[in-house]
Amino acid sequence: MRITILWSSLASYSVAFFKDLSLQGCRIQLIFQPIETDAPYQPFDLSFCQMVLEDSIDVKLNLELLVRDFNPACILMSSWCFPHFMRLTKKLRKNSVYVVSAMDNQWRGTFRQYFGVVSSSILLKPSIDNFLVSGDRQAFFANKLGYKDVMYGYGAAETSRFFCDIPIWKRSKNFLFVGRLVPVKGIKELVQAYIAYRERVKDPWGLKVVGAGPLADLFSDVPGIDLLGFVQPTNLPDLMHEARCFVLPSLWEQWGVVLHEATAGGLPVIATYPCGAITMFARDGINGYIVPPQSPNLTKAMVRISTASQEVLERMSATSSTLAELWNPTMLAKYFIDKVNYFIG
The tens digit of pLDDT for each residue in 239-282 reads 999 999 999 999 999 999 999 999 999 999 999 999 999 999 99
**Over residues 62-86, mean pLDDT:** 96
Indicate the pLDDT class of residue 37, thresholds 50, 70 and 90. Answer: low
CATH superfamily placement of domain 159-324: Glycogen Phosphorylase B; (3.40.50.2000)
Angle among Cα 178, 182, 184 to the nearest 5 degrees reads: 95
Give Cα 186 to chain centroid, integer Å: 17
CATH code linked to domain 2-156+327-344 = 3.40.50.2000
pLDDT computed for residue 43 by the predictor = 86
The span from the CA of 128 to the CA of 114, in Å, is 18
Indicate the pLDDT class of residue 34, thresholds 50, 70 and 90. Answer: confident
Q: In what order do the strands lie in the sheet with 2-7?
A: 51-54, 27-32, 2-7, 74-77, 98-103, 130-133, 151-152
Q: What is the mean pLDDT of the chain?
A: 95
Give the domain ranges of the chain.
2-156+327-344, 159-324
Looking at per-residue pLDDT, the higher value among 112 and 41 belongs to 112
pLDDT computed for residue 9 by the predictor = 87
* Beta-strand pair 174-178/206-210: parallel
2-156+327-344 and 159-324: identical CATH topology? yes
The span from the CA of 23 to the CA of 333, in Å, is 9
pLDDT computed for residue 318 by the predictor = 98
> pLDDT per residue over 68-79, tens digit each?
999 999 999 999
